[in-house]
């Protein structure tokens, strides 16, 4: 699954990688870079910017710092619009993206905008979806939640960090569809400006269930405030998440991987784009990034450059079809 286009076949060391990168491209990164996280602090996009930014600095790819700028709104639409309208030629800007981004593009939720207006850099792993409840919830399994929805589709209120109709919302509807829940449009979903806000509502007992990704919940799991009912993966995740049952184990064939990656402005220079693509390729192979993936439950998933661009186009088409089937769009 790994993209084979790289500056070298094997990373001998991070220092060597930096030296080769510096020799290969006319573009030299500025002392500082900016990463836009299209949501409030605490969610998946924020995690992507901050964790990647730290490794970029620690390994001297960026000599100064990588500033994370939180820009919430419209499920990523505000950041997308800002990038194409105000930062179109900014070589030192990257923007966190995920399956949530392609979902909004697929559903036409960014008016007048499309995937061809930016350059797609690459992915650094995938983050599987989960459904979770507070520690005092009456629900102890995903099956119980789905049975409640079968009796009354509006009986369980879900909270997520994506906009209504976005990826977090879609995960619930996909899972409910697989569990043979009817009247899917009646399933209640509350959209928040990031996973952390949604989690606070669930942990506080104000909303029944959380729909999000595994990387967003480790702190609340460790504190015992959150009970993850299911991970939407083919098989159980490695430790420390190996105690969480999959939806498939509970008889519900729902799988929802959420890739984590970046795009850059559409008019960024070719040299800077190549630098970002190859830096992401190299970063993905480092032990430092592998440690981040293990700690946060990310699973191996890497595409970059032209391969990633085609993947985005294909996924956008698939999600548009799925959204039509479920009734989210016409």
Identify the pLDDT of residue 318.
87
Residue 57, C-beta contacts closer than 8 angstroms, at least 6 positions apart:
64, 65, 66
Regarding whether 237 and 154 lie in a shared domain, the answer is yes
The number of folded domains in the chain is: 2
Alpha helices in the chain (DSSP H): 14-24, 44-58, 77-86, 99-106, 142-151, 167-178, 195-203, 218-223, 270-285, 287-296, 305-326
**68 and 151 inside one domain:** no
108 domain-assigned: yes
Residues 138 and 106 in one domain: no
Verify that 152 and 217 share a domain, yes or no.
yes
Query: Of the candidates 217, 250, 283, which is a domain's last residue?
Result: 250
Is 171 within 8 Å of 256 (Cβ atoms)? yes
- pLDDT score recorded for residue 6: 36
Tally the residues of the chain. Answer: 330
Domain range for 297 is 14-127+258-326
Q: How far is residue 279's CA from residue 52's CA, in Å, rounded to a whole number? A: 11
Please tell me the predicted confidence (pLDDT) of residue 18: 42
**Do residue 245 and residue 296 come from a single domain?**
no
| Shared domain check, 75 and 181 | no
- Final residue of a structural domain among 250, 267, 300: 250
Q: Locate 48 and state its tokens.
A: 């992507």
Neighbours of 184 (CB within 10 A): 16
CA distance 110 to 78: 9
Specify which residues 123 forms β-bridges with: 261
Indicate the DSSP class of residue 245: P
Hunting for tokens 């946060």 — which residue is that? 296
* Same domain, residue pair 103 and 136: no
Q: What is the CATH number of the domain that holds 149?
A: 3.40.190.10
| Distance from C-alpha of 201 to C-alpha of 203, rounded to nearest angstrom | 6
Q: Single out the residue in 250, 276, 303 at which a domain terminates.
A: 250
Q: Are residues 123 and 262 in the same domain?
A: yes
Q: Any idea what the CATH number is for the domain that residue 56 is in?
A: 3.40.190.150
Residues 38 and 106 in one domain: yes
Q: Are residues 45 and 104 in the same domain?
A: yes
The verdict on residue 3 lying in a domain is: no
Q: What is the mean pLDDT of each run of 10 residues along the chain (330 residues)?
A: 36 39 65 95 93 97 96 94 97 96 93 96 96 97 98 97 91 94 94 93 97 92 97 91 96 94 98 97 98 91 96 93 87
**Positive or negative CA dihedral for 299, 62, 89, 22?**
negative
Q: Is residue 22 part of a domain?
A: yes
Collapsed DSSP state (helix, strand, coil) of residue 229: strand
Query: Which are the contacts of 233, defined by CB distance < 8 A and separation ≥ 6?
Result: 128, 246, 255, 257, 299
Judge contact between 312 and 115, C-beta under 8 A. yes
User: CB-based contacts of 186: which residues, under 8 Å, 6+ apart?
Assistant: 153, 154
This prediction's pTM: 0.79
Same-domain pairing of 153 and 225: yes
- Using an 8 Å Cβ cutoff, are 236 and 247 in contact? no
Same domain membership, residue 65 and residue 81: yes
- At 6, is the secondary structure helix, strand, or coil? coil
Say which residue the tokens 């350059």 belong to.
119
- Which residues are 209's β-sheet partners? 133, 158
């Amino acid at each position: 699954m790994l993209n084979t286009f790289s500056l070298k076949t094997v990373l001998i060391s991070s220092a060597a990688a930096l030296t080769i990168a510096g020799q290969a491209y006319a573009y030299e990164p500025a002392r500082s870079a900016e990463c836009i996280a299209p949501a409030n602090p605490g969610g998946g996009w924020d995690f992507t910017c901050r964790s990647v930014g730290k490794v970029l600095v620690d390994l001297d790819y960026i000599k100064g710092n990588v500033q994370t700028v939180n820009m919430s709104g419209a499920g990523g639409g505000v950041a997308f619009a800002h990038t194409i309208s105000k930062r179109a030629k900014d070589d030192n800007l990257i923007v966190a993206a995920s399956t949530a981004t392609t979902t909004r593009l697929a559903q036409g939720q960014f008016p007048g905008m499309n995937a061809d207006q930016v350059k797609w850099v690459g992915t650094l792993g995938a983050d599987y979806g989960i459904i979770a409840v507070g520690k005092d919830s009456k629900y102890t399994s995903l099956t119980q939640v789905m049975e409640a929805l079968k009796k009354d589709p509006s009986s369980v209120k879900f909270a997520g960090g994506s906009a209504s109709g976005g990826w977090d919302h879609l995960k619930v509807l996909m899972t409910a569809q697989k569990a043979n829940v009817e009247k899917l449009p009646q399933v209640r979903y509350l959209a928040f400006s990031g996973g952390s806000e949604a989690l606070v509502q669930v942990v506080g007992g104000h909303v029944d269930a959380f729909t999000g990704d595994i990387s967003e919940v480790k702190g609340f799991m460790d504190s015992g405030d959150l009970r993850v009912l299911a991970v939407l993966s083919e098989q159980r995740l490695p430790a420390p998440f190996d105690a969480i049952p999959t939806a498939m184990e509970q008889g519900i064939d729902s799988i929802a991987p959420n890739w984590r990656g970046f795009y850059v402005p559409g008019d960024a220079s070719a040299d800077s784009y190549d630098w970002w693509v190859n830096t992401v390729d190299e970063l993905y192979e480092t032990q430092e990034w592998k440690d981040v993936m293990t700690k946060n439950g990310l699973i191996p998933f890497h595409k970059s450059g032209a391969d990633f661009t085609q993947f985005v186009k294909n996924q956008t088409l698939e999600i548009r079809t799925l959204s039509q089937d479920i009734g989210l769009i016409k």
